[in-house]
């Protein structure tokens, strides 16, 4: 998957072809025996520091690569050689890690880095809002100095089309706004928005044409819209004047009092686990494993234990973790610290996707405040930065990545609860799972189970994007139907659009027709229809869209993001994407391929990749000339 972005790049600096990849393989062999030069060593030391007494930590390799990549806008061969020497690692190891991640740009001798890289999201929601046009027209507008490449979902689907200029997000991107940011200007921010807040005004909406509007992610009130405003939440009064509840505000509103009670022993760990179990809280990263049970399992393993927090949020259509993190970071941090204490983990590693640059700055700042004035003794907390690889959201791949390696999923058993990060029993959680811990324990599990619809219990944060009037994070009762979600929480369909189909669970969760819009949306309710809710990323399609186009977009995404370890996934996604591009689908071959991928792939990516195509064959055969 390395350098794939460059392979797809339409612009002037698209430098890597298949031939050059082969050449780089040979060059790699040459690099093996290459000696570092003094200048490169000094340059590397200036960024990563001089070698400490016991040597550099191996697990910090990706962090060090980031420093070089940020500073030189790429990774020069000579720096990789020097880094390998400084870290006392084989050159092959450094190179294989650097070449795995999309955001690392390996530069050959004499090759210069593009002055600026613009990544335009080509995920489904952005594609529906004009991303293709941006990708076609931007190179001419921005000139040869700027490299324009397509990128998978960047977690801003409610702001589609979205782009990144270097690391700066450009929501509701237009040719003008991207050019403005490239020129050093400030993008039109939601606060400067001249028009309606976050509404999709119709086919080829104002945004796609360049209009800019602010987030209405949540139908909130006044100027501080946020998912929390939807609820009889949050604990504490108000959310303050600023858009973020910072450390001082959070504490002033009673924050960290619960964690203090638990750490002091006033509230027993067993009671905390009991509350989680009674609430029925399930993992919100997609797999839905019961949180309380997971805490119990990891707690029973031998110490030392570790925790890993998953804020990779790479599932196309998902942006709930970012939305909450941007507004209320300490609610999550308190949940994490409670989990660390109850399960007895000695360190917490937070893995945040690279695309969330502002969130990283925010989290660093808020962590610094917390650590400077801790409400109780804190465990070691390390913030780690992803490097552009969807597969690193898979729990064992994430662990490999935190260890500074290629993000390749591990075979199980052993499960990471037993043998995880650095070989230790590891509690891994999605951001949002931890975000709810405080409220559930403080308010009692009945508070959480008191929500629910159509026979289901609890709350779900739906990331809704696509053809609805008000896309955004919609906190709603578990079991709400798509029809209710769109009508009650999203202001209905966008003007000129009628419901045609929807994806209930991002790229992996399949596609359902409008006739199935009355199914309760929750864990376990969608399996009979060949779908699942996953991270509750709902993408809504209208009569202007086709399910087959959505499925092809998803299959190309999986092809791009397959780590390549297993043949059924690596070859199957590529082959399926080719077949799905044909006007009439070869349904038999696609069904065979799907079966092999489901049966023989190591991890959930390969196992779930066929879901969208299977859905098209089951529910939309008329689109592809196939028999249902």
Ligand X SMILES: Cc1cc2nc3c(=O)[nH]c(=O)nc-3n(C[C@H](O)[C@H](O)[C@H](O)COP(=O)(O)O)c2cc1C
Contact residues toward ligand X (CB under 6 A) are 283-287, 289, 310, 312-315, 391, 393-395, 428-430, 433, 603-605
Give the nearer residue to ligand SF4 in terms of CB position, either 363 or 563.
563
Applying CB under 6 A, does 164 fall inside the site for ligand FES?
A: no
Considering only the C-alpha atoms of the chain, give the largest distance between any 2 of them, rounded to a whole number of Å: 68
Partner interacting with residue 564 (select from ligand SF4, ligand X, ligand FES, none; CB below 5-8 Å by kind): ligand SF4
Q: Which is nearer to ligand FES, 172 or 349 (CB)?
A: 172
The distance of closest approach from Cβ of residue 389 to ligand X in the complex, given in angstroms and rounded to an integer, is 10
Report, in Å, the least distance between residue 283 CB and ligand X: 2
3-state DSSP assignment of residue 195: coil
Determine the Cα–Cα distance for residues 472 and 292; give it in Å rounded to an integer: 29
Residue with Cβ nearer ligand X (232 or 413): 413
Least distance to ligand SF4, CB of residue 221, Å: 42
- Closest approach, Cβ 606 to ligand SF4, in A, equals 3
Choosing from 48, 162, 402, 417, the residue that interacts with ligand FES (CB under 6 A) is 162
Contact between 396 and 410 under an 8 Å Cβ cutoff? The reply is: yes
Q: Computed from CA positions of residues 292, 296, 298, 299, in that sequence, does the dihedral angle turn out positive or negative?
A: positive
Of 175, 182, 245, which is closest to residue 211 (Cα–Cα)?
A: 175
- Applying CB under 6 A, which of residues 91, 126, 416, 520 lies at the interface with ligand FES? 126
Of 506 and 606, which has the nearer Cβ to ligand SF4? 606
Stretch that binds ligand FES, among 148-156, 258-266, 406-414, 555-563 (CB under 6 A): 148-156
Token pair belonging to 568:
């059924």
Q: Is the C-alpha dihedral spanning 159, 161, 162, 165 positive or negative?
A: negative
Contact between residue 576 and residue 554 where contact means Cβ atoms under 8 Å apart: no
Q: Can you state the percent helix, strand and coil of the chain, rounding each to 5?
A: 45, 15, 40
CB of residue 412 to ligand X, shortest distance in Å:
11
To ligand X, the closest distance from the beta carbon of 393 in angstroms equals 2
Residue 9 binds ligand FES (CB under 6 A): no
φ, ψ for residue 574, nearest 5 deg: -65, -45
The interface partner of residue 531, options being ligand X, ligand FES, ligand SF4, none and the CB cut-off 5 to 8 Å by kind, is none
* Cα(66)–Cα(74) distance, integer angstroms: 9
Cβ-in-10-Å burial (0-12, 13-18, 19+) of 354 comes to buried
Q: Check residue 314 for interaction with ligand FES (CB under 6 A).
A: no
Taking the complex as a whole, how short is the minimal distance between the CB of residue 601 and ligand FES, in angstroms? 24
For residue 153, state whether it binds ligand FES (rule: CB under 6 A).
Answer: yes
Q: How many Å apart are CA 156 and CA 322, to the nearest integer? A: 9
Establish if 135 lies at the interface with ligand FES (CB under 6 A): no
> What span, in angstroms and rounded, lies between the C-alpha atoms of 346 and 341?
8
Helix (H, G, I), strand (E, B) or coil at 126: helix
Pair 18, 10: CB distance under 8 Å:
no
Smallest separation, CB 610 to ligand SF4 (Å): 11
In this structure, the strands spanning 116-121 and 146-151 are parallel
| Count of alpha carbons within 13 angstroms of residue 206, beta-carbon side | 16
Q: Which stretch binds ligand FES (CB under 6 A): 8-16, 76-84, 122-130, 142-150?
A: 122-130
CB of 550 to ligand FES, least distance (A): 11
Dihedral, CA of residue 198, residue 508, residue 153 and residue 61, to nearest 10: 140
616 binds ligand FES (CB under 6 A): no
In the complex, the smallest distance separating the C-beta of residue 511 from ligand FES, rounded to whole angstroms, is 15
Q: How far apart are the first and last CA of the chain?
A: 34
Written in H, E and C, the secondary structure of 19-74 is HHHHHHHHHHHHHHCCCCCHHHHHHHHHHHCCCCCCCCCHHHHHHHHHHHHHHHCC
Binding-site ranges for ligand SF4 (CB under 6 A): 391, 409, 562-566, 569-570, 601-603, 605-606
3-state DSSP assignment of residue 457: coil
123 binds ligand FES (CB under 6 A): yes
Q: Work out the angle at residue 541's Cα, subtended by the Cα atoms of residues 535 and 547, and round it to the nearest 5 degrees.
A: 90
User: Closer to ligand SF4 at the Cβ: 64 or 406?
Assistant: 406
Give whichever of 289 and 447 is closer to ligand X, judged by the CB atom: 289
Strand, coil or helix: 409: coil
According to the binding rule CB under 6 A, does residue 154 interact with ligand FES? yes
Q: Select the binding partner of residue 160 from ligand SF4, ligand X, ligand FES, none (C-beta < 5 to 8 A, by kind).
A: ligand FES
Q: Is 551 among the residues that bind ligand FES (CB under 6 A)?
A: no
Min separation Cβ 473 and ligand FES, Å: 13
Q: Which residue is nearest to ligand SF4 (CB)?
A: 606
125 binds, among ligand SF4, ligand FES, ligand X, none (CB under 5 to 8 A by kind): ligand FES
Binding site for ligand FES (CB under 6 A): 121, 123-126, 153-157, 160, 162, 316
């Amino acid at each position: 998957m390395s350098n794939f972005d460059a392979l797809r790049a339409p612009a002037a600096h698209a430098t890597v072809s298949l031939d050059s990849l082969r050449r780089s393989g040979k060059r790699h062999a040459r690099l093996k025996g290459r000696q570092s030069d003094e200048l490169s060593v000094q340059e590397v030391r200036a960024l990563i520091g001089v070698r400490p007494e016991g040597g550099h930590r191996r697990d910090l390799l990706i962090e060090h690569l980031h420093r070089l990549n940020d500073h030189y806008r790429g990774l020069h061969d000579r720096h990789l050689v020097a880094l390998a020497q400084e870290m006392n690692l084989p050159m092959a190891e450094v190179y294989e890690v650097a070449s795995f991640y999309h955001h690392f740009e390996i530069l050959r001798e004499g090759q210069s880095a593009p002055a600026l890289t613009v990544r335009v999201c080509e995920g489904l929601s952005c594609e529906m809002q004009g991303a293709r046009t941006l990708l076609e027209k931007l190179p001419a507008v921005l000139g040869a100095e700027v490299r324009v490449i397509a990128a998978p979902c960047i977690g801003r689907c409610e702001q589609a089309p979205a782009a990144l200029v270097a690391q700066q997000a450009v929501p509701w991107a237009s040719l003008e706004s991207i050019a403005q940011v490239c020129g050093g200007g400030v993008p039109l921010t939601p606060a400067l928005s001249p028009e309606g807040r976050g509404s999709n005004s119709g086919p080829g909406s104002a945004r796609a044409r360049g209009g800019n509007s602010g987030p209405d992610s949540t139908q909130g009130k006044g100027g501080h819209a946020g998912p929390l405003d939807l609820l009889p939440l949050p604990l504490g009064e108000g959310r303050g004047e600023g858009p973020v509840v910072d450390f001082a505000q959070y504490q002033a509103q009673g924050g960290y009092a619960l964690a203090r009670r638990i750490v002091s022993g006033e509230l027993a760990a067993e009671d905390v686990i009991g509350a989680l179990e009674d609430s029925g809280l399930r993992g919100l990263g997609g797999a839905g494993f019961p949180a309380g049970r997971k805490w119990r399992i990891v707690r029973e393993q031998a110490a030392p234990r570790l925790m890993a927090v998953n804020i990779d949020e790479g599932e196309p259509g998902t942006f709930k973790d970012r939305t909450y993190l941007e507004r209320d970071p300490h609610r999550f941090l308190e949940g994490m610290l409670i989990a660390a204490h109850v399960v007895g983990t000695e360190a917490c590693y937070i893995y945040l996707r690279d695309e969330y640059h502002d969130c990283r700055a925010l989290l660093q700042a808020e962590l610094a405040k917390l650590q400077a004035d801790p409400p109780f003794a804190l465990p070691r907390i390390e913030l780690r930065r992803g490097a552009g690889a969807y597969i690193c959201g898979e729990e064992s791949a994430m662990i490999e990545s935190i260890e500074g390696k290629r993000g390749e999923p591990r075979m199980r058993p052993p499960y990471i609860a037993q043998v995880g990060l650095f070989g230790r029993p590891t509690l891994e959680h999605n951001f949002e799972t931890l975000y709810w811990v405080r409220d559930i324990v403080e308010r009692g599990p009945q508070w959480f189970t008191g929500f629910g619809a159509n026979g289901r219990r609890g709350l779900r944060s739906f990331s809704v994007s696509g053809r609805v009037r008000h896309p955004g994070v919609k906190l709603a009762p578990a079991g709400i139907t798509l029809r209710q979600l769109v009508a009650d929480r999203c202001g209905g369909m966008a003007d000129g659009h009628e419901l045609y189909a929807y994806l209930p669970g991002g790229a992996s969760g399949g596609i359902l027709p409008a006739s199935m819009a009355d199914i309760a949306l929750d864990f376990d309710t969608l399996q009979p229809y060949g779908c699942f809710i996953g991270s509750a990323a709902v993408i809504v399609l209208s009569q202007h869209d086709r399910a087959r186009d959505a499925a092809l977009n998803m299959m190309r995404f999986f092809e791009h993001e397959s780590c390549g370890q297993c043949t059924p996934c690596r070859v199957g996604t590529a082959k399926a994407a080719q077949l799905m591009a044909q006007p009439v689908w070869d349904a038999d071959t696609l069904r065979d391929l799907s079966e092999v991928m489901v049966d023989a792939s190591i991890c959930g990516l390969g196992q779930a990749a066929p879901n969208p195509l299977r859905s098209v064959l089951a529910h939309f055969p008329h689109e592809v000339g196939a028999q249902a």
